[in-house]
Amino acid sequence: MSKTALLFAGQGAQVVGMGRDFAERLPSARRWFEEADRVLGAPLSQVCFEGPEEELTKTVNAQPGIYLVGWVAFQALKEAAPELRFDATAGLSLGEFTALAAAGVFSFADGLKVVRERGRLMQEACEATQGGMAAVIGLDEETTRQVCAEAGVELANLNCPGQLVISGTQEGIAKAVELAKARGAKRAVPLAVAGAYHSRLMAPAQAGLDAALRAVPINIPSVPVISNVTARPHGAPSDIHRRLVEQVTSPVRWEASIRYLLAEGFTRFIELGPGTVLTGFMRRIDRSVEVLNVSDLASLEKTVQALGAAT
């Protein structure tokens, strides 16, 4: 019997209009958007549906917005395919919080509040440190680590073969981009992000996130949830708390997380939330597995049809 893992999108996947067709066509989805606005005391749904883009892109809005749309996609899939059983969850950076909520580690509302605070704290850290990030395409991990060491920056995302992301000061990133090109990278380009995510420059956000996590109950996961920090399943609630704080400054080990699931016999992956970034990563990691996605009603229908055909 095939094993299914749910994958949740991370920051950068946001797009104006995300989740709108769910809210317009599914009463249950509309209630989740209304609940999010009530919990936060702010019109997050309006920002998701209407933008403007510069408002949605702000870390303080993008993080809870993507969490919300990922959760709504998850609930819509459960409603449309009640027979579906999933055996693990994982999420890219911010998406790890949605993955944990899907496994019952914390409630939707508690996760949303923590994610909103995480976004606020990380935005403050961005403004205080003036860092940046860059994508490095076509360079292996070891060579990229050497580049990082020489430039004084850090590996932030190990996404898939041939695609790594580095993070650090703006000066360090500029130097690393030139070094990477000189070492044979196909491309090395600065990213349009607010700061140096998953680097030591995000350390100012950790104390506040620690406090936010202490304020919510954390439960044992109902299914394994893969940690970005370790690329292995989370442990006890206290360990989950610690890893989520560490995650802010640690590299996202996405490829290793997926390879762990592949080694455990997972053959079906369903990406939930805006965009198909994780689907693209999966195709570069292992093209032989089934990858579905739910980002809107059209993709939900296709995924439900594929699940039906497989049963």
- Of the candidates 96, 90, 180, which has an alpha carbon nearest to the alpha carbon of residue 135? 180
Q: Considering the candidates 2, 28, 107, 198, report the single residue annotated as catalytic.
A: 198
| The last residue of a domain, from among 170, 190, 210 | 190
Question: Which tens digits make up the pLDDT trace of 90-142?
Answer: 999 999 999 999 999 999 999 999 999 999 999 999 999 889 999 999 999 99
* One domain for residues 147 and 215: no
In a domain, residue 195? The reply is no
- Two tokens, residue 185: 């990278």
* One domain for residues 89 and 158: no
Please state the three-class secondary structure of the chain as a single string. Answer: CCEEEEEECCCCCCCCCCCHHHHHHCHHHHHHHHHHHHHHCCCHHHHHHHCCHHHHHCHHHHHHHHHHHHHHHHHHHHHHCCCCCCCEEEECCCHHHHHHHHCCCCCHHHHHHHHHHHHHHHHHHHHHHCEEEEEEECCCHHHHHHHHHHHCCEEEEEEECCEEEEEEEHHHHHHHHHHHHHCCCCEEEECCCCCCCCCHHHHHHHHHHHHHHHCCCCCCCCCCEECCCCCCECCCHHHHHHHHHHHCCCCECHHHHHHHHHHCCEEEEEEECCCCHHHHHHHHHCCCCEEEEECCHHHHHHHHHHHHHHC
In a domain, residue 266? The reply is yes
At residue 311 the predicted structure's pLDDT band, cuts being 50, 70 and 90, is low
For the chain, what is the domain count?
Answer: 2
* One domain for residues 144 and 245: no
* One domain for residues 246 and 143: no
Give pLDDT, residue 12: 86
* One domain for residues 216 and 171: no
Residue 234 falls in the annotated catalytic set: no
In a domain, residue 277? The reply is yes
β-pair type (131-137, 266-272): unpaired
Contact at 8 Å (CB) between 13 and 274? yes
| The last residue of a domain, from among 168, 190, 212 | 190
Q: Considering the candidates 45, 93, 199, 257, report the single residue annotated as catalytic.
A: 93
Residue 28 falls in the annotated catalytic set: no
β-pair type (163-169, 154-160): antiparallel
Contact at 8 Å (CB) between 8 and 92? yes
Give pLDDT, residue 193: 85
Single pTM value for the model: 0.95
ω into residue 233 within 30 of 0, thus cis?
A: no
Contact at 8 Å (CB) between 173 and 166? yes
Residue type, 40: L
For residue 293, the cross-strand partners are 271
| The last residue of a domain, from among 147, 172, 190 | 190
Q: Is 249 left (phi over 0), alpha (psi -120 to 50) or beta?
A: alpha
Mean pLDDT, residues 70-91 taken together? 97
In a domain, residue 85? The reply is yes
* One domain for residues 232 and 100: yes
In a domain, residue 165? The reply is yes
Question: Which tens digits make up the pLDDT trace of 29-49?
Answer: 999 999 999 999 999 999 999
CA distance 75 to 81: 10
For residue 131, the cross-strand partners are 169
- Tell me the residue range of the domain where 299 lies: 3-127+200-310
Contact at 8 Å (CB) between 123 and 58? yes
Query: Any idea what the CATH number is for the domain that residue 179 is in?
Result: 3.30.70.250
Task: Name 28's Cβ contacts closer than 8 Å, sequence gap at least 6.
Answer: 75, 76, 79
* One domain for residues 302 and 153: no
Question: Which tens digits make up the pLDDT trace of 281-302?
Answer: 999 999 999 999 999 999 999 9
* One domain for residues 95 and 25: yes
Write the CA distances from 141 to 29, 162, 185, 229, 306, integer angstroms.
41, 8, 11, 17, 35
* One domain for residues 163 and 300: no
Query: Any idea what the CATH number is for the domain that residue 301 is in?
Result: 3.40.366.10
In a domain, residue 110? The reply is yes
What is the residue whose two structure tokens read 């030139």?
A: 178
At residue 304 the predicted structure's pLDDT band, cuts being 50, 70 and 90, is very high
* One domain for residues 30 and 179: no
pLDDT of 178 higher than 60: yes
